[in-house]
Amino acid sequence: MSDFTVSPLIEADRGWLCDFIAEHWDEGFIVTRGAKHFPASLEGFAARRGDAVVGVITYRFNPPGVEIVTLNSVLPDRGVGTALIDAVRPIARAKGVPVWLITTNDNLRALRFYQKRGFTLKALHRNALEVSRTLKPIETIGLDGIPLRDEIDLELADP
């Protein structure tokens, strides 16, 4: 049985959410597809253990479906990431659209995590980070020492 709960983000969450996003994504915004996005203003869910936030997912409606904009778990391997995805799935299911997201070529943990949960690789945007770096300082070497270059789209066609 999990020792955390998942609930929708509400307006009262916006303050700490700005700090949370800045802490996990270096600044208050992320860059994908050559544009800035501000996750702290989006809809989403928080996972909490007691008063402590142990994970956040944000999403938006962006064709062809519901796009997961950020997902962060600070309690690894306890089911938080899975529970946050499971919170978003019914929103897409109700609209008859897929869930999709963008990650980067170095994020092997995310690629593993999403594919084990039914997501499939949808598109590769080679050297997309070159454009992103014109909007935000992003390191050239990413996770596990892998050159950080590309955006990869994943899709859960049947949420």
Asked if 132 touches ligand COA (CB under 6 A), the answer is no
Stretch that binds ligand COA, among 14-22, 67-75, 89-97, 128-136 (CB under 6 A): 67-75
Asked if 110 touches ligand COA (CB under 6 A), the answer is yes
- Closest approach, Cβ 156 to ligand COA, in A, equals 13
Which value, to the nearest 10 degrees, does the dihedral of the CA atoms of residues 145, 54, 119, 148 take?
-20
Stretch that binds ligand COA, among 15-23, 38-46, 74-82, 131-139 (CB under 6 A): 74-82
Q: Which two tokens stand for residue 144?
A: 């596990």
Q: Is 145 helix (H, G, I), strand (E, B) or coil?
A: helix
In sequence order, the 6+-apart residues with CB closer than 8 A to the CB of 31 are 37, 132, 135, 136, 138
Task: Give the nearer residue to ligand COA in terms of CB position, either 103 or 132.
Answer: 103
Q: Which residues of 119-135 are buried (b: 16+ CB within 10 A; e: fewer)?
A: beebeebeebbeebeee
Q: Which candidate, 11, 156, 3, 5, places its Cα nearest to that of 93?
A: 156
Task: Give the nearer residue to ligand COA in terms of CB position, either 12 or 71.
Answer: 71
| Interface pick for ligand COA out of 8, 76, 90, 147 (rule CB under 6 A) | 76
**Interface ranges with ligand COA (CB under 6 A):** 70-73, 76-82, 101, 103, 107, 109-110, 113, 116
